[in-house]
Amino acid sequence: MPTAAGACSRLCIPGDPVIVPAPLPADSGRDPLWRPEQQFTSTQLAAPRRRWLLDDGSLTARLVALDAGAFSVRRLYQGWQVPLPSEQRLLQVPARQRALVREVLLRLDGQAVVFARSVFPISSLNGELAHLRKLQHRSLGAILFRYPGMQRSPFELARLSGHSAYMAPWVRQEVPAWARRSCFDIRGKRLLVSEVFLQEFTPWDASLAVHRSRRGTVSAAIHRIKQ
Protein backbone atom coordinates (compact mmCIF):
# COMPACT_ATOMS: atom_id res chain seq x y z
CA MET A 1 0.00 0.00 0.00
CA PRO A 2 1.28 3.52 -0.66
CA THR A 3 2.87 5.38 2.19
CA ALA A 4 2.41 9.04 3.10
CA ALA A 5 5.21 11.51 2.55
CA GLY A 6 7.64 11.27 5.45
CA ALA A 7 6.45 7.78 6.46
CA CYS A 8 8.83 4.91 7.20
CA SER A 9 10.45 3.36 4.14
CA ARG A 10 9.45 -0.24 5.00
CA LEU A 11 6.12 -1.68 3.84
CA CYS A 12 3.38 -0.53 6.22
CA ILE A 13 0.72 -2.94 7.41
CA PRO A 14 -2.77 -2.16 8.75
CA GLY A 15 -2.57 -0.72 12.23
CA ASP A 16 0.91 0.73 11.76
CA PRO A 17 1.20 4.41 12.72
CA VAL A 18 2.03 6.63 9.75
CA ILE A 19 4.71 9.14 10.69
CA VAL A 20 4.10 12.53 9.10
CA PRO A 21 6.27 15.55 10.03
CA ALA A 22 4.43 18.01 12.25
CA PRO A 23 3.67 21.44 10.78
CA LEU A 24 6.62 23.73 11.27
CA PRO A 25 5.82 26.34 13.96
CA ALA A 26 6.53 29.97 13.15
CA ASP A 27 9.19 31.67 15.28
CA SER A 28 8.39 35.13 16.68
CA GLY A 29 11.55 35.73 18.73
CA ARG A 30 14.14 38.45 18.25
CA ASP A 31 16.82 35.81 17.60
CA PRO A 32 15.01 33.11 15.59
CA LEU A 33 15.65 29.40 15.84
CA TRP A 34 17.90 28.88 12.83
CA ARG A 35 18.45 25.31 11.69
CA PRO A 36 20.79 23.73 9.12
CA GLU A 37 19.15 23.26 5.74
CA GLN A 38 19.50 19.46 6.00
CA GLN A 39 17.03 19.36 8.91
CA PHE A 40 14.07 20.42 6.74
CA THR A 41 12.07 17.66 5.09
CA SER A 42 10.54 17.92 1.63
CA THR A 43 7.15 18.18 3.35
CA GLN A 44 8.24 21.17 5.41
CA LEU A 45 10.11 22.81 2.55
CA ALA A 46 8.43 22.31 -0.83
CA ALA A 47 10.53 22.14 -3.99
CA PRO A 48 9.77 25.68 -5.31
CA ARG A 49 10.81 27.25 -2.03
CA ARG A 50 13.79 24.94 -1.68
CA ARG A 51 15.10 26.07 -5.09
CA TRP A 52 15.11 29.72 -4.01
CA LEU A 53 16.13 29.35 -0.38
CA LEU A 54 19.04 26.99 -0.99
CA ASP A 55 20.43 28.58 -4.14
CA ASP A 56 23.88 30.01 -3.40
CA GLY A 57 24.00 32.48 -6.27
CA SER A 58 23.33 36.20 -6.06
CA LEU A 59 19.75 36.90 -4.99
CA THR A 60 20.12 40.40 -6.43
CA ALA A 61 21.01 38.96 -9.83
CA ARG A 62 18.10 36.53 -9.73
CA LEU A 63 15.60 39.24 -8.88
CA VAL A 64 16.92 41.38 -11.72
CA ALA A 65 16.74 38.41 -14.11
CA LEU A 66 13.04 37.91 -13.31
CA ASP A 67 12.30 41.07 -15.30
CA ALA A 68 9.38 41.67 -12.92
CA GLY A 69 9.91 45.40 -12.55
CA ALA A 70 12.75 47.72 -11.65
CA PHE A 71 14.98 46.40 -8.87
CA SER A 72 15.90 48.78 -6.05
CA VAL A 73 17.25 48.76 -2.51
CA ARG A 74 15.83 50.85 0.32
CA ARG A 75 17.97 51.15 3.43
CA LEU A 76 15.91 51.03 6.62
CA TYR A 77 18.63 51.12 9.26
CA GLN A 78 22.40 51.19 9.63
CA GLY A 79 24.28 51.53 12.89
CA TRP A 80 26.61 49.97 15.44
CA GLN A 81 25.11 47.45 17.84
CA VAL A 82 25.92 44.19 19.60
CA PRO A 83 24.96 41.31 17.28
CA LEU A 84 22.38 38.75 18.37
CA PRO A 85 23.81 35.73 20.25
CA SER A 86 23.52 33.36 17.29
CA GLU A 87 25.15 35.98 15.04
CA GLN A 88 28.07 36.28 17.45
CA ARG A 89 28.50 32.51 17.29
CA LEU A 90 28.57 32.36 13.50
CA LEU A 91 30.87 35.35 13.14
CA GLN A 92 33.09 34.27 16.04
CA VAL A 93 33.14 37.73 17.63
CA PRO A 94 33.37 38.56 21.36
CA ALA A 95 30.04 38.70 23.20
CA ARG A 96 29.98 42.46 23.77
CA GLN A 97 31.78 43.67 20.67
CA ARG A 98 29.72 45.94 18.46
CA ALA A 99 29.32 45.36 14.75
CA LEU A 100 27.85 47.37 11.91
CA VAL A 101 24.27 46.21 11.28
CA ARG A 102 22.44 47.15 8.09
CA GLU A 103 18.79 46.39 7.33
CA VAL A 104 17.29 46.96 3.89
CA LEU A 105 14.35 46.10 1.68
CA LEU A 106 14.86 44.58 -1.76
CA ARG A 107 12.10 45.85 -4.02
CA LEU A 108 10.65 45.01 -7.41
CA ASP A 109 8.77 47.84 -9.09
CA GLY A 110 8.63 49.62 -5.73
CA GLN A 111 7.16 46.63 -3.87
CA ALA A 112 9.18 45.17 -0.98
CA VAL A 113 9.76 41.45 -1.57
CA VAL A 114 12.74 40.66 0.70
CA PHE A 115 13.87 42.04 4.06
CA ALA A 116 17.65 41.66 4.46
CA ARG A 117 19.88 42.07 7.51
CA SER A 118 23.67 42.19 7.25
CA VAL A 119 26.16 42.10 10.13
CA PHE A 120 29.73 43.34 9.56
CA PRO A 121 32.32 42.72 12.32
CA ILE A 122 34.56 45.74 12.78
CA SER A 123 37.58 43.60 11.86
CA SER A 124 36.06 43.01 8.41
CA LEU A 125 35.55 46.69 7.62
CA ASN A 126 39.12 47.68 6.89
CA GLY A 127 41.36 47.46 3.86
CA GLU A 128 39.58 46.51 0.66
CA LEU A 129 36.21 46.13 2.42
CA ALA A 130 36.22 49.51 4.18
CA HIS A 131 33.85 50.87 1.52
CA LEU A 132 31.09 48.58 2.83
CA ARG A 133 30.56 51.12 5.61
CA LYS A 134 29.04 53.48 3.03
CA LEU A 135 26.72 51.34 0.93
CA GLN A 136 23.78 53.74 1.31
CA HIS A 137 21.03 52.34 -0.99
CA ARG A 138 23.33 50.11 -3.05
CA SER A 139 22.98 46.34 -3.27
CA LEU A 140 25.43 44.40 -1.11
CA GLY A 141 24.99 41.33 -3.31
CA ALA A 142 25.99 43.31 -6.37
CA ILE A 143 29.34 43.88 -4.65
CA LEU A 144 30.08 40.59 -2.87
CA PHE A 145 29.79 38.42 -5.96
CA ARG A 146 32.44 40.45 -7.76
CA TYR A 147 35.19 39.17 -5.48
CA PRO A 148 37.10 36.20 -6.94
CA GLY A 149 37.48 33.43 -4.40
CA MET A 150 34.56 34.60 -2.26
CA GLN A 151 33.29 31.70 -0.12
CA ARG A 152 29.75 31.24 1.17
CA SER A 153 28.80 28.94 4.05
CA PRO A 154 25.90 26.44 3.92
CA PHE A 155 22.53 28.00 4.67
CA GLU A 156 20.63 28.03 7.91
CA LEU A 157 16.85 28.41 7.58
CA ALA A 158 14.05 29.64 9.84
CA ARG A 159 10.28 29.87 9.60
CA LEU A 160 9.32 33.25 11.05
CA SER A 161 6.03 34.50 12.38
CA GLY A 162 4.77 37.42 10.34
CA HIS A 163 5.05 39.48 13.53
CA SER A 164 8.56 38.28 14.35
CA ALA A 165 10.62 40.81 16.28
CA TYR A 166 13.51 39.89 13.98
CA MET A 167 11.94 41.97 11.21
CA ALA A 168 11.64 45.74 11.18
CA PRO A 169 8.21 46.76 12.56
CA TRP A 170 7.04 48.32 9.30
CA VAL A 171 7.55 45.13 7.27
CA ARG A 172 5.75 42.73 9.60
CA GLN A 173 2.84 40.87 8.06
CA GLU A 174 -0.09 38.57 8.76
CA VAL A 175 1.44 35.36 7.39
CA PRO A 176 4.65 33.48 8.29
CA ALA A 177 7.78 33.99 6.21
CA TRP A 178 10.73 31.85 5.21
CA ALA A 179 14.19 33.18 6.03
CA ARG A 180 17.72 32.09 5.27
CA ARG A 181 21.19 33.21 6.31
CA SER A 182 24.80 32.41 5.53
CA CYS A 183 28.29 33.77 6.11
CA PHE A 184 30.45 35.23 3.37
CA ASP A 185 34.23 35.01 3.60
CA ILE A 186 36.41 37.28 1.49
CA ARG A 187 40.07 36.52 2.10
CA GLY A 188 39.49 35.85 5.79
CA LYS A 189 37.04 38.71 6.38
CA ARG A 190 33.61 37.42 7.42
CA LEU A 191 30.16 38.95 7.29
CA LEU A 192 26.67 37.55 7.81
CA VAL A 193 23.69 38.09 5.52
CA SER A 194 20.12 36.99 6.26
CA GLU A 195 17.15 37.35 3.91
CA VAL A 196 13.46 37.10 4.78
CA PHE A 197 11.14 36.40 1.85
CA LEU A 198 8.07 38.57 2.42
CA GLN A 199 4.50 37.72 1.46
CA GLU A 200 4.78 39.93 -1.63
CA PHE A 201 7.51 37.65 -2.97
CA THR A 202 5.54 35.64 -5.52
CA PRO A 203 8.00 34.12 -8.04
CA TRP A 204 8.52 30.87 -6.09
CA ASP A 205 7.65 28.86 -9.20
CA ALA A 206 9.78 30.96 -11.55
CA SER A 207 12.76 29.21 -13.08
CA LEU A 208 16.18 30.27 -11.80
CA ALA A 209 17.75 31.67 -14.93
CA VAL A 210 21.13 32.53 -13.40
CA HIS A 211 23.44 30.14 -11.57
CA ARG A 212 26.45 31.02 -9.47
CA SER A 213 28.69 28.92 -11.71
CA ARG A 214 27.80 31.26 -14.58
CA ARG A 215 29.68 34.23 -13.12
CA GLY A 216 29.63 36.14 -16.41
CA THR A 217 25.84 36.09 -16.49
CA VAL A 218 25.66 37.10 -12.83
CA SER A 219 28.03 40.00 -13.41
CA ALA A 220 26.05 41.19 -16.42
CA ALA A 221 22.86 41.19 -14.36
CA ILE A 222 24.21 43.04 -11.35
CA HIS A 223 26.09 45.63 -13.39
CA ARG A 224 22.76 46.78 -14.83
CA ILE A 225 21.76 48.01 -11.37
CA LYS A 226 22.46 51.67 -10.76
CA GLN A 227 25.11 52.07 -8.10
Count CB neighbours of 106 within 10 A: 23
Contact status, residue 182 vs residue 156, Cβ threshold 8 Å: yes
Q: Binding site, residues? A: 102, 140, 195
Binding-site entries for substrate: 102, 140, 195
Q: How many CB atoms neighbour CB 212 within 10 A?
A: 15
Q: How far apart are CA 35 and CA 157, in angstroms?
A: 5
